[in-house]
Structure 1
C-alpha cells in the first residue's frame, strides 16, 4: 500500500512540475494599479521614463495645440500625445477637451507593421477610447491580446493629458 501511495505521489509531483515548466512567462508585464471595483488597470507612465516625456519633435500637432479657457472651466482644445514606439509600430493619440472634460480621444497613429497588427489596433483602440472617456484619465484596463497597443495608447494619452494640464 505504501509503495502504491509513493508511486501516485511521485507521478503527481512530476506532472505538476511538467505543467509549471510548460507555462511561458509573459514577455512584457504591464505595470498595474488597483482600479475601481477591484479591477486591474494600466498605470500611467512614471515621470522618469523617457517615453513618457512630451517631446515637441514627437508631436505632429505641436505642443500648443490646445487652449485653456479663461473662465476657469479647465482645458479646452485638442492636445496631441507623444508618439510611443511599440514593437509593432508607433502609437499616438490626441485628446479633445471642452471645459476641462475629455470629450474624445482619436488615434493619430496605430501599430501597422502587419495586417495582424492593424487588425488588433482596429479592434482594441475603440475599447481603449471608451475606457478612457469613462475614466476621464489614462488609468484604464489593457485590452487582452493587445498589450503593446494598450501600453502605447496609455502612454500617449497620458502625455496628451499632461499637455492639457488635466
Structure 2
C-alpha cells in the first residue's frame, strides 16, 4: 500500500512540476496599460478608414488589429488608384524582442505590400503574429480606399 502511495506522489509531483515549467516558460509579462509598449507616432489621430489629403496622395488608416502581442495598425497613401506608401503607425514595442522582430519584419511587410498592391502578402518568418495583424489592418485600409 505504501509503494502505491509513494508512486502516486512521485507521478503527481512530476506532473505538477511539468505544468509549472510550461506555465513559467510561456509567461509573457505585461508592462502596464492597454497600450503600453505600442508605438504610435505623434499626429496619428487619423481614425480608421478616414481619408485625408497628404501631399499628392490620399491617406487611409486601417482598423487596429488586436494581436497576441499587441495592436497593429497601418496607414496607406494612395495616388491614382495605386498604393504609394504603407506605414505601420501602431505596433508592439513592449520589450526588446518586440522591437527586434518589428525592426526586421515591418520593412519587409511594407515592401511586399507595395509590390503586391494588395494585402495578399506573405508573413515574415518569426513575426507571424505581427504579420497577420499587419495584413488585417492593411486590408481594412484598402477597403476604405476602395482598392482591391
TM-score by length of 1: 0.57
Per-residue displacement from partner, 1:79-101 (whole Å, max 9, x unpaired)? 00111111111111101000101
Structure 1 runs (4+) deviating above 4 angstroms are none
Distance 2:76 2:138 in 1: 7
Partner Cα separation in structure 1 for residue 119 and residue 52 of structure 2: 18
TM-score, structure 2 as length reference: 0.64
Corresponding position: 1:118 with 2:99: yes
- Match in the other structure for 1:128: 109
Counterpart residue number, 1:47: none
Aligned residues: 100
Equivalent position SS for 2:92:
coil
The 2-side partners of 1:82 and 1:138 are apart by 13
- Residue 64 in structure 1 maps to residue 64 in structure 2: no
Whether 1:85 and 2:66 are equivalent positions in the alignment is yes
| Structure 1 portions without partners, runs of 5+ | 1-58, 68-75
Is 1:60–1:80's contact at 8 Å kept on the other side of the alignment? no
Report the aligned-residue RMSD.
1.5
| Structure 2: stretches of 5+ with no match in the other structure | 1-43
